[in-house]
Structure 1
């Protein structure tokens, strides 16, 4: 039969007012420290999740989840696209041709990746259509040699809508006059802005114009860009697609092009989480000093409880319950405070910026001008479990000392 007497006594000790104000202060500081540590940990991890979400949406929204490459072009890409679009997990397929070029306008020169796309199909695999700053993606008509540049790239080249931009390809024309690079002039018909480094390194033209530029046959493309309902299945699914499609095809996916960036963010989140978890650990082990002082203060009470029939194990449970109560109270306060901060930290920082007339995050440096936050409940559960485990561990030694108090020794001078 379960004996709830030690639990009741432990809770009574935890709620009782103490004559020793120093012990009360230590108890309060333990609760406050644990609450602060848990709140800060939840808030910081939520901010890290927010940055990860923004990078995933902005960068992986522009680069392909996976790409099926031809050698050098795909045979019957339309039929292949129809076949791939019917496969599980695939939500979009679009033709793609690319080239590394140097753009020139007046005295301004800048390198970028030139992408040949179908304006309509591209919006199934990319967020570019939702992030047009000026002009229109639909203006990339076949034969018009229009071009869409990233906003930062257009700013670097000092061009606006209707201006001419010259693309210099790393190929050579051999003629009587000698060897000269391949040049082509485009008309700027739009700019896009996603708030990342891609704004200064990407440009888009119609895939038919790209075929002419690279001297392919009409309607030929180099690859198919494929978007999945879950980007993390891309590395495995693209190989299944490659095996299902005839021909000598190559594959690539986002983990090869941008995997290091997300691995770095994951590692940074892990390291920051571990460092902040030390704050929770320090606060939790403050409970050790609290309970040691309580045990010393309650030696007479322990002796009386032992003489009334409580076993040493039950005495241990009295102080374990007391320590766990203090720890979980601090953890609960920290969770409420942390969740509240995590859900409102973007608005709080924005309000501080407005009040103080400062800008904490510069979009030119951090690719966004606000502090993102995304509360992940699995992180909250992990933090609560860690705080509980550390709290229980912190109660073991003081509770063991309490169980070793001898009634005769404690009451000798009473």
Structure 2
């Protein structure tokens, strides 16, 4: 079978001989180092993807993908028509009205909280809080029941449980003979939820929307929460809804309210990719050392090939073949091991915790108690490409040195 001369000789140089077994050993070490580096990079990227996805799902389980609101502190005009317009958009999977206000809660101990008035029958369309109830259920938030559902941490701060009473004060003042005083109302704790996020578990309380409207002196909801078919398509959908609803309404997305948080996660992922890429660069240095030793060892062979008519470019190709082959083999092993490790990492961590009795992410300290991992083909592709480019660049200088060999000088002492 016909093969180019450069490929034929380059592949022969990869086979171990008695006189160059050490070079073959260095070549094997280079393969192992590249494989370990690629494995580490893919695994770390997968873990960061897992944390990003877990945080995103937990945050978006309590907030909406997009919201439609009116003027600050006022109810939405003709909100039922706005809901119909929103639901008519093919990208909107659910819409639910809400009333949101800051309030002061008093029980055994005081605490501030964000109080959200919801319709229990409509809330599952836009949030996952109903699936995270520790005690009670959202359906207990009936009109005029004056029931309240608290986050788990908020209930601990207040020192209350299901069946206790909480006094709520809202920044809506009413005139009395004693002057202006805030509106006060006693609520009955009917449920407790746990989202696994400090922001919501310690600072969010849910009541019936009608009760929230009465307490705040409103004649309707302060906004409409929307759930979309694709959360990353939130901004284009928001622009469509803003045009359909008119200037009376304001449309915001989760990207606007949590942009800094997710931008920080994205930046950390990019920085980690760059830092761990340097590990691959260090591993590739072994490849340079191996090729330089091979060039020195093959001086006589290079000289003979030059006298037989091989060009400097052909000599470069022969040594680049071996370097690229080492890089490809190391990358292939690294991609395989990294993908397998990322896929099975949560189970491996649970097994290690079971055997050693050590909990890596304690639920008492961390809100994500399991090590998540999400393997993405794009990350694997980028890692493989960067590793291949590093391996290719590592072969250039040794191959160039080989091509500069002078036949007469190399054969003088042979």
**TM, length-normalised to structure 1:** 0.95
SS in 1 for 2:62: coil
Q: Distance in 2 between matches of 1:388 and 1:69?
A: 51
1:137 is aligned to: 138
Counterpart check, 1:253 vs 2:289: no
CA displacement, residues 277-307 of structure 1 (integer Å, 9 cap, x when unaligned): 0001111232111101100001111122223
Does the CA contact (< 8 Å) of 2:241 and 2:251 recur in 1? no
Q: Distance in 2 between matches of 1:300 and 1:18?
A: 17
Q: Distance in 2 between matches of 1:338 and 1:3?
A: 33
Q: Distance in 2 between matches of 1:406 and 1:49?
A: 53
Q: Distance in 2 between matches of 1:210 and 1:352?
A: 49
2:76 is aligned to: 74
Q: Distance in 2 between matches of 1:184 and 1:18?
A: 90
CA displacement, residues 145-175 of structure 1 (integer Å, 9 cap, x when unaligned): 1111111111222222121111111232321
Q: Distance in 2 between matches of 1:182 and 1:8?
A: 88
Please report how far the alpha carbon of residue 141 of structure 1 lies from its aligned counterpart in structure 2 after TM superposition: 0.6
Please report how far the alpha carbon of residue 57 of structure 1 lies from its aligned counterpart in structure 2 after TM superposition: 0.4
1:394 is aligned to: 394
2:118 is aligned to: 117
SS in 2 for 1:119: coil
Q: Go from structure 1 to structure 2 and tell me whether the alpha carbon gap of 1:91 and 1:195 turns closer, same or farther (over 3 Å shift).
A: same
Q: Distance in 2 between matches of 1:364 and 1:251?
A: 38
Q: Distance in 2 between matches of 1:285 and 1:267?
A: 28
Q: CA RMSD in A?
A: 1.6
> How does 1:6-405 map onto structure 2 within 5 Å?
6-17=6-17, 19-71=19-71, 72-106=74-108, 108-197=109-198, 198-217=200-219, 220-246=220-246, 248-405=248-405
Q: Distance in 2 between matches of 1:134 and 1:122?
A: 17
Structure 2, gaps ≥5 residues long: none
Please report how far the alpha carbon of residue 233 of structure 1 lies from its aligned counterpart in structure 2 after TM superposition: 2.1
Does the CA contact (< 8 Å) of 1:96 and 1:221 recur in 2? yes
SS in 1 for 2:185: strand
Structure 1, gaps ≥5 residues long: none
CA displacement, residues 33-72 of structure 1 (integer Å, 9 cap, x when unaligned): 1111100000000000000000110001211111111231
Q: Distance in 2 between matches of 1:382 and 1:147?
A: 49
Please report how far the alpha carbon of residue 3 of structure 1 lies from its aligned counterpart in structure 2 after TM superposition: 5.8
Q: Distance in 1 between matches of 2:255 and 2:202?
A: 21
Q: Distance in 1 between matches of 2:319 and 2:247?
A: 72
**TM, length-normalised to structure 2:** 0.95
Q: Distance in 2 between matches of 1:160 and 1:23?
A: 71
SS in 2 for 1:15: coil
Count of equivalent residues:
410
CA displacement, residues 82-133 of structure 1 (integer Å, 9 cap, x when unaligned): 2210113111110011010111112x11111100111121111111122111
Q: Distance in 2 between matches of 1:127 and 1:14?
A: 58
Q: Distance in 2 between matches of 1:291 and 1:79?
A: 73
SS in 2 for 1:95: strand
CA displacement, residues 238-260 of structure 1 (integer Å, 9 cap, x when unaligned): 23212211462223221222111
Does the CA contact (< 8 Å) of 1:195 and 1:363 recur in 2? no
